[in-house]
Homo-oligomer: A and B are copies of this chain.
Amino acid sequence: MTVGIRGMGLIGGSFEKAFRKAGHEVLNLKDAAPEAVASCGLVVVCLPPRFVAPWIREHAGEFAADALVTDAAGVKGVVCRELADITRVARWTFIGGHPMAGKEVSGYENSDAALFNGASMVLTPYDWTPPAAVERLKELFAPVGFSRFVVTDPDRHDEMIAYTSQLAHVVSSAYVRDPLATSHAGFSAGSYQDMTRVATVDPDIWTDLFLFNSKSLDAVLRRLIDRLADYRTAVRDGNADALRRLLAEGRAAKERTK
């Protein structure tokens, strides 16, 4: 099978290397001729979220009739909505995708054939997507190393990702912007490094991700701020019982959801 990839950054490059390692031919679809696009059984669009739907629409007439087209954007609602009309009539099949893998650095130079090993891949088919196409897409992606596929709808994906990923990136960025950060050396260990690791992400891409998912992100941010205020109140009041209860609930929540 020939795999076409558009967007050779961290994610696209990692797909390229992983598919090559699995024995597939991989085409970089940047400036690719229509015949090249037509030769691909699988097309993975790894562009920043705002460019995914426009690129697919632009090449809608070139994909092979039985091609599976997917993407790797971190928001699915906006991408899948923009492609709903065309995918209803196309002979090829588009299924939204989001690999649950990444790094705090970007670019092809950081890509890695092993990036997806053991990771989850979220797929967001439409109501009208044939279940067989979803199964075929899972099979095509299996050699890349995913250990799990989650099939859900775009809105549920976006709600979950606001919490599991976007909120973590907001917190990391906010955490490291404290005046004391400049003096952390010698006073910090793993928890500080973990807390600030993803503060280095690309501001343009993540601004888009956040604003394409603003309602869900706003909701999880509001809830986190409210919870942090509870700890702060307990600290200010010297309320050991309240603090112990909050920490015990956090510990239980973490143990329960490991």
Contacts and interface: CB of A to CB of B under 8 A. Distances in A.
Contact of A223 (B171, B178, B201, B203): B178
A118 to B, nearest CB: 10
A160 B187 contact: yes
Q: What is the predominant secondary structure among interface residues of chain A facing chain B?
A: helix
Contacts of A207: 240, 243-244, 247
Interface residues of A, number: 89
Contacts of A163: 178, 180-181, 184
A220 to B, nearest CB: 7
B122 A186 contact: yes
Contacts of A100: 186-189
A253 B190 contact: no
Contacts of A179: 223
A210 B243 contact: yes
A30 interface: no
Interface stretch (A57-65, A128-136, A230-238): A230-238
Interface of A: 100-102, 119-120, 122, 148, 150, 157, 159-161, 163-165, 167-192, 194-201, 203-204, 206-208, 210-211, 214, 217-218, 220-225, 227-232, 235-236, 238, 240, 243-251, 253-257
7 interchain residue pairs of minimum CB distance? A173-B250, A203-B247, A150-B186, A194-B194, A199-B254, A168-B191, A160-B187
30 contacts: A101-B190, A160-B180, A160-B184, A163-B180, A163-B184, A164-B184, A164-B187, A164-B188, A165-B187, A168-B191, A171-B171, A171-B175, A171-B195, A173-B246, A173-B251, A176-B253, A178-B223, A181-B253, A191-B198, A194-B195, A194-B197, A196-B254, A201-B247, A201-B251, A203-B244, A206-B247, A207-B247, A214-B236, A221-B232, A225-B229
